[in-house]
Amino acid sequence: MDICQHFGFCGGCTYLDMPCNEEIAMKEASLGEMFAPFLGGATVSVLPAPRQEGYRNKMELAFGDEGRDGKMALGMRKKRSFYEVATPLDCVLICDDFKKIIACVLEYFRETGEAVFHRKRHTGALRHLVLRRGEFTGEILLNLSHASCLEAPLAPLVQRLLALPLDGQIVGILHAINDGVADAVKNENIGILHGRDYYNEEICGLKFRVSAFSFFQTNSAGAEKLYSLVCEYAGQGRLAYDLYCGTGTIAQVLSPNFEKIIGIEIVADAITAAKENVRLNNIENCYFHAGDAIELLSSPPEMPDVAVVDPPRDGLHQKALTKLIELSPPKIVYVACKPASLARDLTALTEAGYVLEKLQGMDMFPRTVHVEAIALLRRN
């Protein structure tokens, strides 16, 4: 495999220059060291992802310069650089459809002479391009973020994009007007230029409607393996809690194994999507609520057989962790996109009487430093 020309300074890949088996071994060693106090000498294995290349179903790209006073670029910000951007036309992490779309958008705005938003002077219009794709449906959603001073018409760009020879299909083209100074894509002032504001994905035999700002696992094929493992750890029972449920993906995958599942998520839009997804899948035993996980843990309607937690990268908030320990469900399945957060929370959970029964690594992000960890804890 040829090494990407941007490898080493684009901020995307880290292990592109080593064989995949060596990458897995390195991640296993890292997890083994991190969780050694809880393993009693046991080792940790890492399941490889179904695909090592072209697996990313979401890319948030920035407009910038190829170099100092260089041509316009669209891609990943280079390490230790405020303005320079690496255009990922030979990136191994994204599909060919994304590469064609990036090239098309970049060519159009170079032709029109539109200016990139300057992060220090706060001038110019072009800010970000977010690409999302259903791995198993082929549906693609675009969101162009720009300041209100944009001069180039967008209708010609839409026509060029729709004429691209893609393996998938563009189902929605959005644009978001952002005149703020922060370097972030905001869920504000969204307009539809073509199609709709969501795409569909299918995982574990279920359908999911994913909006432009909904959380969804970045690796769809890897998510199937991850959720199958969560189902295995959770087992069967009467009631399961899905804390930090997002759009309700885990809850719906678990639904055949439990009489009832209660999910809670602080992002109201995600709960709206979760309720829509259960309607799409004709699931009647999942109940979703918008709110903080602490609320459910503080006033539980009934004791769950298992609590599944899939918190943000920083792990469980201290108050939520305390309330979870006070609730003391028989089993906890902890899904961690940042294993170090899980290792920290395990200290409190084991001191409270839980035993780490199983721990499995999952390589959801091949060629990068990131690795997922799934733990099964049982109340002693």
Strand partners, 140: 133, 170
The Cα–Cα gap between 248 and 54 comes to 25
Alpha helices in the chain (DSSP H): 20-34, 36-39, 96-112, 155-162, 220-234, 249-254, 268-280, 293-298, 318-327, 339-351
Q: Which amino acid, 131? A: L
> Which SS3 state, helix, strand or coil, does residue 225 take?
helix
* Ordered strands of the 126-133 beta sheet: 85-86, 72-77, 58-65, 126-133, 139-146, 169-177, 190-195
Catalytic residue among 4, 245, 286, 337: 337
Closest CA to 304 of 263, 358, 245: 263
Q: Please list, in sequence order, all residues whose beta carbon lies within 8 angstroms of the beta carbon of residue 349, skipping any fewer than 6 positions away.
A: 321, 325, 332, 377
The Cα–Cα gap between 227 and 374 comes to 10
Residue 91 known to be catalytic = no
Per the structure block, which two tokens stand in for 380? 């002693």
**Residues with catalytic annotation?**
337
